[in-house]
Amino acid sequence: MPGIYIFSEDVALAKQLLTPALELKKSLNQPVTVLAVSEPDAKELSTLGADKVVILQSPSKWVDGFAEAIYKQFNDAKASILLVGGTLCGKGIASYVAAKLDAGMVTDATVLKVADGGLLATRVLYAGLALCEEQVALPAVLTIHARTFLAPSAAATPSVIETVAVEADTRVTVGKVTATGDSGVDITAAQKLVAVGRGFRKKEDLKLAEDLAAALKAELACTRGVAEDEHWLPIARYVGISGQTVKPDLYLAVGLSGQVQHMVGCRGSKVIVAINTDEHAPIFESADYGLVGDLYVVLPLLTAALRK
C-alpha cells in the first residue's frame, strides 16, 4: 500500500526524518515506515511515532550495499515518498533508488508540502544565498541534511517492529574500522561552541580559545582553513558547507571572516556572537552581537570575567 518510507544509517538523523514524515502522513493519510539495519537502531526508532519499523537483516556491514534492498522494500509496497538522510552514503542510496524507480529526486530539502498531487520541496542553493522550490510527482525520493528538523517527541504507543531477511550487495566488505584519533566529541550536539578562524597566528594561540570554551562549558569548532589547510584541529570540528552543520544555543565566532561557505554550517544557531578586528568582516552581517577588537586582547579579558 502507499506509504512514506525513511532510511538513514545514522540513527540520530533517522529520528529527525520522522518529523517531516509524520507531517506528510497528516496530509497524505499514509503510514510511515522506517527502515533500519540493526535491532538496537530499530528499538530506538520505534518509540517516535512511526507505524512500523523494518529491520533489514543481512550479514553485510556495508551500508551502501543495502540500496537494492531498500529499493525493493519501497517498490514492492508501491510507496509514495522515500526520505533519506543526506549523508554521503545516504545520497548514494537515494540516487540509486530514484534511478531504479525512474522517479524525481530532490537533495537537501528543507521544507516539504503536498501540492497538486505531488510534493513541493524547498532546498538551499549557492551555499545559502538562494532558495529553490521544486515540484516532483509521486513516487519521489528526497534527501534531508542532518539537523534540518528536530526529532519528534516520544509516542504513546511503540511501533510494530518486523525483521526481513534481505540480500545486500557483497562486492564490497568492511574488513576493519579504525578510529580517527579525535577526542570523540560531537560538536553537532553541543549547546555552546567557540569557533576559531585564521585570525589566530599559530596553533599554540588556540589555547586562548580553549580557555574561553572551558569557561563557557563549550566545545571548540573551526573553519575549513584551520582544519584542512593548517591542520590545527581535526576535520570533525570543521563547520561549513562541506563540514559539520551545527545549531547550538551560542555560536561564538572568533577571528573568522564569516564567508558564506562557513556560515551555511552555523546559520541555524540561536545566538551568534562575533569577535573580529575588521569591522567590515562578513561575520558581522550574520551576528546577533559583534565586538570589534583584537582577539589576543579580548579573549583573556572575557575568559577572566567568566571565571569570576
Provide the grid cell at 41: 537502531
Three-state DSSP class for 135?
strand
Query: Using an 8 Å Cβ cutoff, are 285 and 227 in contact?
Result: no
Q: Which is it for the CA torsion 224, 229, 230, 233, positive or negative?
A: positive
Task: Provide the pairing of β-strand 289-292 with 219-222.
Answer: unpaired
Question: How confident is the model at residue 182, as a pLDDT?
Answer: 59
Question: How confident is the model at residue 126, as a pLDDT?
Answer: 74
Q: Where are the domains of the chain?
A: 4-165, 187-307
Cβ atoms < 10 Å from Cβ of 137: 11
Measured CA to CA, the distance from residue 66 to residue 77 in angstroms comes to 17
Measured CA to CA, the distance from residue 288 to residue 266 in angstroms comes to 13
Q: What are phi and psi of 261, to 5 degrees?
A: -65, -30
Three-state DSSP class for 109?
strand
Query: Using an 8 Å Cβ cutoff, are 285 and 258 in contact?
Result: yes
**CATH superfamily label, 187-307:** TPP-binding domain (3.40.50.1220)
Measured CA to CA, the distance from residue 173 to residue 12 in angstroms comes to 24
- Matching CATH topology for 4-165 and 187-307? yes
Distance of CA 201 to the CA centre of its chain: 31
> Would you state the CATH architecture of domain 4-165?
3-Layer(aba) Sandwich (3.40)
| Residue-by-residue pLDDT tens, the chain, 308 positions | 689 999 999 999 999 999 999 999 999 999 999 999 999 999 999 999 999 999 999 988 889 999 999 999 999 999 999 999 999 899 999 999 999 999 999 999 999 999 988 999 999 887 667 889 999 999 999 999 888 899 999 998 999 999 999 988 888 888 888 876 655 688 988 999 999 999 999 999 999 999 999 999 999 999 999 999 999 999 999 999 888 889 999 999 999 999 988 998 998 899 999 999 999 999 999 999 999 999 999 999 999 999 98
Measured CA to CA, the distance from residue 200 to residue 220 in angstroms comes to 14
Measured CA to CA, the distance from residue 236 to residue 240 in angstroms comes to 11
